[in-house]
Amino acid sequence: METPVIRTAIYPGTFDPITYGHLDIIERAVEIFDRVIVSLGRNPEKGPLFSLEERMEMVRESAVNISGVEVDTFTGLVVRHAQEIGAEALIRGLRAVSDFEYEFQMALVNRRLAPDIITVFLMPNERYTYLNSTIVREVASFGGDVGRFVPPCVEERLKKMFQKIRSDGGSGLRGGAD
């Protein structure tokens, strides 16, 4: 009897923080793949608001009810990471046409570097097409309600982080990217 093939994909990103848009992409990905590894990139140049450990915890807490999801980290080329863990695909979310050009270029470069790894583009539900982590951080930094953008565990961490930053005189704000 043959062992069933487990189809694995990586959903790479910074997830600073994870949003409902990210979770929507993860839910779509697990419909296609047996195992989806949310891989957080270690990129010190991006200067994320949350530490790598905090971001991993938020992803785990937010995706706890989605079966087939794992959380990992990587440094360097995502296609190399995909090959090391036996993934066959990279998941990339496309919110708008503006995302497409960059993502298309990256997919072509990744194809050259690792022809065995495919890129799968997924679009989130239209209610999340405007949403990204940068917007969430900015709204939260001004004390705005981000409850419709992120899970409760993330909302709470954002509140605590910006309360701490305000009490420290703003010196803790590091910025970052998705």
Is 22 catalytic? The answer is yes
Which candidate in 7, 95, 111, 141 is catalytic?
A: 95
Q: Output the average pLDDT for the chain.
A: 92
Mean pLDDT, to the nearest integer, of 25-49? Answer: 92
CB 87 within 8 A of CB 8: yes
Please state, in angstroms and rounded to a whole number, the distance separating the CA atoms of residues 17 and 15.
5
Please state, in angstroms and rounded to a whole number, the distance separating the CA atoms of residues 154 and 16.
10
Which candidate in 46, 60, 111, 141 is catalytic?
A: 46
Residues 60-93 pLDDT 10s: 999 999 999 999 999 999 999 999 999 999 999 9
Structural domains in the chain, sorted by start = 8-129 (3.40.50.620)
Is 133 catalytic? The answer is yes
Tell me, what amino acid is at 147? G
Residues 127-155 pLDDT 10s: 999 899 999 999 999 999 999 999 999 99
Is 46 catalytic? The answer is yes
